[in-house]
Amino acid sequence: MVILVFTPMCLLENSFRSCRGLIILAMAVVLTQFGCRDANTTSASSPADQISDSDSGVEPLTVLAYENCFFSGIINEFEKEFSIPVELVTFSDRDEMEELLRSRPADFDLLVAGGGVVADLIGLQDLQPIQREKIPQFRNLDEQFLGLKFDPENRFSIPYTWGTTLIAYRKDKIEDPEKSWKSLWDERFRGRVLMVDAGFDVYAAALLASDHDINSQDPNHIEKATSLLVDQVKNLNARFVDILEVRDELLSGECWIGMTNSSEAALLADEEETIDYFIPEEGAPLWVDSFVIPRESTNSETAHLFLDFLCRAEVAAVNSNELLCASANRESVPFLNRETLENKTLYLHADVFARCRSEAQASPERQVLVSTGLKQVFDQVREDAEKPKLSLLLWEEYLAPEAAAAFEAATGARIILTEVENSEQLKQELASKPSAFDIVIADEVTLKELINLRLLRELNCKELSGMTILKDPIITSPADPYNRYSVPYLWGLTVLAGRSDVLKGIEPSWNLLWRDDLRIALLDEPSDIMWMALLALGHNPATATAEQVDEAAMRLAARFPDFSASMTDLLSGLDALEANEVDLVVSYNGDAIVRTAGKDGLEVIVPKEGSPLWLDSFAISRDARNPLLAHQFIKFMSNPETSAMTANSLHYASPNPEALAKVDPTLLANPTLYPADEMMRKCNFVKFPPEIEKYASQSILRLITESRSRTAVTTAAHADDSSSTRTTPGTFFTED
């Protein structure tokens, strides 16, 4: 016996197909109003009696499913109770499922699918009728999930789980998105939006975003929704993908915000703390997944036995608790744990549910308009896919959106961003796949390493002819003084940001790092840390000796015993400062200025000893797939207008003298961003004497390695001394 599981089908159908069967009748009673009832138990006339204990030839129960469609403890319990072995097989998409049904039609005894798929199978006469008398526990099901449009008499289907299509997002990328479908059209998230490739759901999002009913039949409303979806692809680089890709890209950080279903969102948030989700204030589409028995099934007795088992209140509750999904089983409510029942996007409160809608019967005119509109949307998707691509590797949030949009408008190209947190990640990304990137933006230390590793190509002067020549004598990269491989982008200083009460009345100095009464976060740039430590000890890093490096390393180890834990990426360090989790953070001046602006009690200082000076530059990957477009981009970004636009947007200093006249005067007047000449003479690129350069690097890396080793030993010892077992109210299955 095989159970074919496909959940939720509405979000996995082909891009050119509309989900047609996501119907839930209006609810008169919401789940939060249910009273506690005694759990129903299997009667004496249970279908289990219809399968002989002496029947030694019971077929194995093979479950063909996506991961997380069933809690494995349920499968284990079914095996133990009925002595029917279960084999698990997974598939990835509808095409694979359909191929399995075609090639092995008699193997599958159960299928879990969304309303659209169920409707198709009923129309094709590919299902067996459900024998209700063999499922006594059917009475546990909630009437509000029965009699749905795709199967009004439930002749072929039994509801299993239900939920909403909603929005999930990365909290580390989007601090507080508008709780609206309109957030999927926010220009700040350009290139980071994913839509599910399901017609009903995307039109629901567009209709609700334009303040229209989810099932509006008005042609003007449908046409407006179509325009929104086309513009989303054309102007915001939104992509339409299946729900599995939404999951993967949310986890990787490539997607910042996108559509998904409520169960998947809950699992994602449980797995990754930086992911959150919400039902938009306008409401959301509702969906139901149901069991059906394929026409060619040869083991319907066992199929009905399994259905009756799954309709038990306790079983449904365990599944709901473990998989974070809403059950269509009314009697499961008393067995749900608090986490599941109180999840406001799983078991909806009355006011939220009142704003949600399932798909209603569409008029023929609406069906034509939606089908035509989807074709326009995916024509735009194909057109967009044919545009030339320029792939950039850079720091987080380090390209002004308006500059990117202007370049794309001027060239018809599409910019693809890969963002990293620090220079080590940048080097690893480029070294592992140099052909994946056209442009890399790197500081002078990283630039030198990339040149030495032969990961960059020399610039073609002819392609850059007519470009503004950058002549600032101070801002010249020591890694590439003649600009054979690079063109300057932005420059800045590594500074201190901290609480005003800590810095009040104190001469700004790097020796604040030694204050053991302060909570300090170090920027995760090892060379900079050694440079600052030498300055804090009164040494000139540019002429440092091995003995002075040893002294700095010893002082750092004593002050920061858990050295690696004291290091943080740029944005996390500033987050910690804002949250009052640290008193002082080593940061870059531009981001620190932006984050502390207008916030009482926070300020940014340039220490009296001077600061590490850095210059980020454009360079072209050795294996760039589009080097001509890469040269165009560098030339475009280096013109005075774009350079000033970038400086104003990102709050870092432009190295282009001709751009300064167009830079915001308030930025030019900020001494932390554009220091006076006296301070600038104290600021230098991080460049140790050649004879100790390697020694200094090894010393700081040794601190990091030793700190991580100590942490690993401590963690292992703690794990040996403690253990925990997850217990859930109402859960009675355990995994073997």
Per-residue pLDDT tens digits for 490-504: 999 999 999 999 888
Per-residue confidence at 227, pLDDT binned at 50, 70, 90? very high
Distance CA 67, CA 60 (A): 20
Question: Residue 330: is its pLDDT beyond 90?
Answer: yes
Question: Residue 26: is its pLDDT beyond 60?
Answer: no
* Strand-pair partners of 161: 289, 327
Once rounded to an integer, what is the mean pLDDT over residues 656-679? 93
pLDDT of residue 708: 72
Once rounded to an integer, what is the mean pLDDT over residues 345-360? 86
pLDDT tens profile 475-534: 788 889 889 999 999 999 999 999 999 888 888 999 999 999 999 999 988 889 999 999
Cβ atoms of residues 21 and 117 within 8 Å? yes
Q: How far apart are the first and last CA of the chain?
A: 22
pLDDT tens profile 174-221: 988 999 999 999 988 988 999 998 888 999 999 999 999 999 999 999
Per-residue confidence at 113, pLDDT binned at 50, 70, 90? confident
pLDDT of residue 109: 87
Which of 53-57, 670-674, 680-684 comes out lowest in average pLDDT? 53-57
- Which range in 4-8, 25-29, 133-137, 411-415 is most confidently predicted, on average pLDDT? 133-137
Distances (CA, A) of 231 to 189, 378, 389: 14, 12, 19
pLDDT of residue 350: 85
Per-residue confidence at 653, pLDDT binned at 50, 70, 90? very high
Question: Residue 690: is its pLDDT beyond 80?
Answer: yes
Distance CA 471, CA 613 (A): 17
Once rounded to an integer, what is the mean pLDDT over residues 26-51? 34
Cβ atoms of residues 341 and 277 within 8 Å? no
Alpha helix ranges (H) inside 57-128:
72-82, 94-103, 115-123
pLDDT tens profile 582-635: 999 999 999 999 999 888 899 999 999 999 999 999 999 999 999 999 999 999
Question: Residue 266: is its pLDDT beyond 50?
Answer: yes
Per-residue confidence at 59, pLDDT binned at 50, 70, 90? confident
Which of 15, 10, 18 has its CA nearest to residue 222? 18
Q: Does 355 or 732 have the greater pLDDT score?
A: 355
Cβ atoms of residues 234 and 376 within 8 Å? no
Per-residue confidence at 281, pLDDT binned at 50, 70, 90? very high
Which of 397, 499, 421, 470 has its CA nearest to residue 658? 470
Per-residue confidence at 397, pLDDT binned at 50, 70, 90? confident
C-alpha neighbours within 13 Å on the C-beta side of residue 587: 32
Question: Residue 674: is its pLDDT beyond 50?
Answer: yes
pLDDT of residue 150: 86
Q: Residue 338 has what DSSP assignment?
A: H
Q: Does 467 or 654 have the greater pLDDT score?
A: 654
Question: Residue 735: is its pLDDT beyond 50?
Answer: no
Which of 223-227, 363-367, 377-381 comes out lowest in average pLDDT? 363-367
pLDDT of residue 182: 97
Question: Residue 642: is its pLDDT beyond 50?
Answer: yes
Once rounded to an integer, what is the mean pLDDT over residues 288-316? 92
Share of the chain above pLDDT 70, in %: 86
Domains along the chain?
2-162+287-353 (3.40.190.10), 164-286+362-379 (3.40.190.10), 389-490+613-671 (3.40.190.10), 506-610+687-710 (3.40.190.10)
Which of 26-30, 108-112, 332-336, 461-465 comes out lowest in average pLDDT? 26-30
pLDDT tens profile 75-104: 899 989 999 887 777 776 667 777 887 888
For the record, the structure tokens of 43 come out as 């009667």
Question: Residue 411: is its pLDDT beyond 70?
Answer: yes
Average pLDDT, the chain: 85
Which of 255, 244, 295, 83 has its CA nearest to residue 172? 255
pLDDT of residue 63: 66
Once rounded to an integer, what is the mean pLDDT over residues 382-389? 88
Distance CA 555, CA 559 (A): 6
pLDDT of residue 472: 65
Phi and psi torsions of 302, nearest 5°? -70, -35
Q: Does 734 or 589 have the greater pLDDT score?
A: 589
Give rounded-to-5 percent helix, strand, coil for the chain: 45, 15, 40
- Which range in 51-55, 432-436, 463-467 is most confidently predicted, on average pLDDT? 432-436
pLDDT of residue 36: 30
Q: Which positions ≥6 away from 229 have C-beta within 8 Å?
A: 195, 202, 203, 206, 373, 377
Distance CA 393, CA 390 (A): 10
Per-residue confidence at 430, pLDDT binned at 50, 70, 90? very high
Per-residue confidence at 470, pLDDT binned at 50, 70, 90? low
pLDDT tens profile 230-262: 999 988 889 999 888 999 999 988 899 999 999
Distance CA 585, CA 464 (A): 39
Question: Residue 687: is its pLDDT beyond 60?
Answer: yes
Which of 291, 241, 290, 289 has its CA nearest to residue 263? 289
Cβ atoms of residues 23 and 206 within 8 Å? no
pLDDT of residue 469: 62
Q: Does 437 or 736 have the greater pLDDT score?
A: 437
pLDDT tens profile 132-186: 999 999 999 999 899 988 899 999 999 999 999 999 999 988 988 999 999 999 9
pLDDT of residue 116: 75
Distance CA 290, CA 298 (A): 20
